[in-house]
Structure 1
Amino acid sequence: MKSGMTFGAISLMALALVACGKTDLSTLDASEAAPDRPELSGSSEKIKVVGSSTVSPFATTVAERFGATSGFPTPIVETTGTGGGFKAFCQGVGPDQPSISDASRPIKDSEAELCASNGVTEITPVEIGYDGIVIANSKEGPDFDVTKTQLYMALAQDVPNEAGEFVPNPYKSWHDVDASLPDEPIMVFGPPPTSGTRDAFVELGMEHGAETVPAMAALKASDPKAFADRAHTIRTDGAWIDFGENDTAIIQSLVKTPTAMGVLGFSYLEQNADRVKGAQLSGVPATFEMINSGEYGLSRVMFFYVKDQNLTLVPGLIDYIEAFTSDSAFGPDGYLVEKGLIPLSDEDRAAQRVIVEDLKAKLN
């Protein structure tokens, strides 16, 4: 039976968090509070979340509200990148190990094999919404409208010349790639190889762009693996600069370097719209509406992966998962939309709740 926390207790917790600058709890009221809970064995253990820098702002927001309105400690959310998150997530089972890995791409076979080798044999993915990968620059910089083909030609390590022979990328400026583009040096701040954002960028952007280049199309037909290697390999001559798992640092550097471009998640563009702007992709702007409709060509599903074996070992884990997948959080009018989340369809959200109910049933 539920017995609600007092409004005064909720207010004190909310004020303390707001004073620390941790979250905006202005919309909370007593009806959102979780019930009082008995002291559980091991209740000092906190839920540990690792993974994607793109999903991290959403996970952190849910964690802070969860800590403020439930009988459980605020979960620890660590930004490691999708690849780094799965590496940590797959180290073992237990309350001292991460229970959730945020991801901006599906888990790879090699990562699932690492999990299995360490006894992490029960994993459940939960979709939380959509995100767009944007190519952004300073408000003070030129306007860009690029195609995926131009992105491939500008950023690939090796590109075909007029004779169809692969040579080290010779292009120094965007204007060199195509006369319609600004005469600015190719300088792109982007995520490192461990990032799901980078994986999605090369797969959805550069690979699709490479398919339109005759020499690359022929290579794909004759040797798909060689094609993928060439399409996914980003140049290392200084035109692309790895910026770690920190999209905020990319934003700050774009402001300081108006001629540079940056690759980042849409939520960071939206949260910093007063300082940076997104390039159009084949004439389609990087907006909430265009990503939601599927017209913007660099969009992806975001996930979190649950370590099912930790459900009975980590107090509050299922409660946090339910909070994340509630309509008040990831629904079309949920508080995560304010953070830049692009919600799933009604049907897809309902499907995710069925998955969560199946997880909950494992506790019985």
Structure 2
Amino acid sequence: MTAPLFRTKALFAGTALALLAACGGEEADTGPDAISIVGSSTVYPFAQKVAGDYAAANEGAAAPLIESTGTAEGIEEFCAGTGPDTPDIVNASRRMHLDEFNRCQANGVEEIVEIKVGRDGIAFVSAVDDGVELELTPEIVYRALAANPYGEQQSAENWSDIDPSLPDAPIIVYGPPASSGTREAMQKLVMEPACTASADMAALEDGDEAAFVRNCDALRGDSAYSEQGEKDDLIVRKVGNNPRAVGVFGYSYLEENQDLVKALPMNGVMPTAETIADGSYPASRPLYIYVKKAHVGVTPGLEQFVAQWAESWGEGGPLAAISLVPATEETRAESAAAATNLTAMTSDGLE
């Protein structure tokens, strides 16, 4: 992970300059302050687009600084506190957890604005030229990638070890790291439903959380699953160059790289904007941004930047043009109200 981006906010800079003047020093022009954004690699290209349009529409505004740190690490940094060395916004490819919300509160980040910006699917892909052909199901993915499928030690080396109808080819999967919301969404949307189809495994969810995580969520630690960091574009290139490999990343990277990779179906359904929007593709999810309300009015342009998101996420809008799947009309209306009113979220519904 790259080092955090730090910048001085106008309010805090003003205090320091007043002290400097009182001591006989001269005030210096610190220039405009940039909005600081961290978080999801999946949301990253959409945030970049919004940032570019915001800068173009607001002459003299500093371009927002955006880091692709992964959802978990981004939220951790966002929740560290308020002030000049903390982010204004975190991009997230899954919803904030209750423990993360509580950590924010404990660190003085008491008002957080939660905004759904659209939908995305978790795509499983292979090389467009001679790539491995797989008819995937949640059970196949779980049996291939779980550290302890159904409580048994992982032993599958080839896809055919899982099901004789699958190719006699080695299991090679390039995917995101533990800090990634995409990986967590894969676990929640694909692996856990397959795992809990077993009554014994389902019983662990309430009875033994550690065992549930160990058997249902934990990924194998050998070379069959290879973490690629928060670099979805790297996964695209590696899969494109390896016809035996499968890659896991957000749908937008599939749409933008169809010359290199092709989608694999899940339960017979291909990931498309339509199947992700209507939920028929099993591995679909909402995308979020979280805004630190304490920084509104302190970081120049923060409110306008959030408004730029609301102007961008509709059907036929600039984000749909780069493969963001628009949310339903009802959800977009709710998100637009949150962006306008900056209503602070509560812990209701968080897990």
Residue 154 of structure 1 pairs with residue 144 of structure 2: yes
What is the CA–CA distance in structure 2 between the aligned matches of 1:42 and 1:354, rounded to whole Å?
Answer: 34
Letter in 2 for 1:356: A
> Aligned to 2:36, which of 45, 48, 52?
48
User: Cα offset for 1:124?
Assistant: 1.1
Residue 358 of structure 1 pairs with residue 341 of structure 2: yes
What is the CA–CA distance in structure 2 between the aligned matches of 1:144 and 1:42, rounded to whole Å?
Answer: 56
What is the CA–CA distance in structure 2 between the aligned matches of 1:128 and 1:320, rounded to whole Å?
Answer: 13
Give the aligned partner of residue 324 of structure 2.
341
Identity, % of aligned positions: 38
Residue 143 of structure 1 pairs with residue 126 of structure 2: no
3-state secondary structure, aligned to 1:330? coil
What is the CA–CA distance in structure 2 between the aligned matches of 1:357 and 1:220, rounded to whole Å?
Answer: 39
Give the aligned partner of residue 175 of structure 2.
190
Gap runs ≥5 in structure 1: 1-40, 161-165
1:304-345 CA-to-partner distances (Å, cap 9, x unmatched) read: 00000000211100000001111xx10001011111100011
**Is 217-226 or 56-65 further displaced after alignment?**
217-226
Give the aligned partner of residue 28 of structure 1.
none
Quick check: 1:42–1:315 contact (8 Å CA) kept in 2?
Answer: no
Letter in 1 for 2:214: D
Spell out the pairing of 1:167-206 with structure 2 (5 A cutoff): 167-206=152-191
> Aligned to 2:49, which of 54, 61, 71?
61
Letter in 1 for 2:334: A
> Aligned to 1:99, which of 70, 85, 88?
88
Give the aligned partner of residue 18 of structure 2.
none
What is the CA–CA distance in structure 2 between the aligned matches of 1:357 and 1:67, rounded to whole Å?
Answer: 19
TM-score (norm 2): 0.85
Residues 42 and 354 of structure 1: is their aligned pair in 2 closer, same or farther, counting only changes over 3 Å? farther
Residue 320 of structure 1 pairs with residue 320 of structure 2: no
**Is 209-218 or 276-285 further displaced after alignment?**
209-218
What is the CA–CA distance in structure 2 between the aligned matches of 1:137 and 1:115, rounded to whole Å?
Answer: 39
TM-score (norm 1): 0.82
What value does the CA root-mean-square deviation take over the aligned residues?
1.8
1:214-251 CA-to-partner distances (Å, cap 9, x unmatched) read: 54345457545522431000000211111100000000
Letter in 1 for 2:108: G
3-state secondary structure, aligned to 2:269? coil
Query: Which of the pair has the greater relative contact order for Cα pairs under 8 Å at 6+ separation?
Result: 2
Residue 306 of structure 1 pairs with residue 299 of structure 2: no
Residues 321 and 100 of structure 1: is their aligned pair in 2 closer, same or farther, counting only changes over 3 Å? same
3-state secondary structure, aligned to 1:145? coil
What is the CA–CA distance in structure 1 between the aligned matches of 2:317 and 2:293, rounded to whole Å?
Answer: 26
User: Cα offset for 1:354?
Assistant: 1.1
Quick check: 1:311–1:318 contact (8 Å CA) kept in 2?
Answer: yes
Gap runs ≥5 in structure 2: 1-28, 345-351
Spell out the pairing of 1:1-364 with structure 2 (5 A cutoff): 44-71=32-59, 72-140=61-129, 141-160=131-150, 166-213=151-198, 215-217=200-202, 219-220=204-205, 223=208, 225-326=210-311, 329-359=312-342
What is the CA–CA distance in structure 2 between the aligned matches of 1:59 and 1:348, rounded to whole Å?
Answer: 19
